[in-house]
Amino acid sequence: MSADISNIIFTVRRQKIVLDSDLAALYGVPTKVFNQTIKRNFARFPASFMFQLTAQESEAMRSQFVTASPKRNLRFLPNAFTEHGALMAATVLNSPQAITMSVYLINAFIRTREELSTNATLEKRLLSIEKTLLSHDSALRDIIQKIRPLLLPSSEPPRRKIGFITHDD
């Protein structure tokens, strides 16, 4: 189940979020009921927990991820919930399904964060390796330039050998 949840986590304004309609579906309530409950408990949802998408953000998500439900009322812009907002929504709804699904959702957020951290670590490591390879490449070029003249035939005439020499004519 948690593998499906990671598909509804998006990045908006450099934050990982879940849309209100997706949370409502996870928690087993209609989106309208979900949003009414959130409005009644609005003080529990500061801007770091929840924000409303702009028209441009909403349209971009609809076209890019095909998240628009045919049933969704397009007159209202969707609310975006961060990890903490999704957990707070589960406590406000206070149903067994909401609590169970919030655990799955939080685990999906954690997994997404770990994947991003792993990717950033790998990127730093690759940059370090690239720098090392570039310096090695430069050093190898210098060595080859110094060895190349030693491999060419000498232009000096051969020296006369020392010692007793016989000429067989």
pLDDT digits (tens, 9 = 90+) for 44-97: 999 999 999 998 888 887 765 554 454 455 678 999 998 888 888 888 887 777
Confidence (pTM): 0.57
pLDDT digits (tens, 9 = 90+) for 141-160: 888 888 888 887 777 777 77
Mean of pLDDT values over 129-144: 87
Alpha carbon of 6 to those of 92, 119, 130, 155: distances in Å?
A: 22, 17, 32, 72
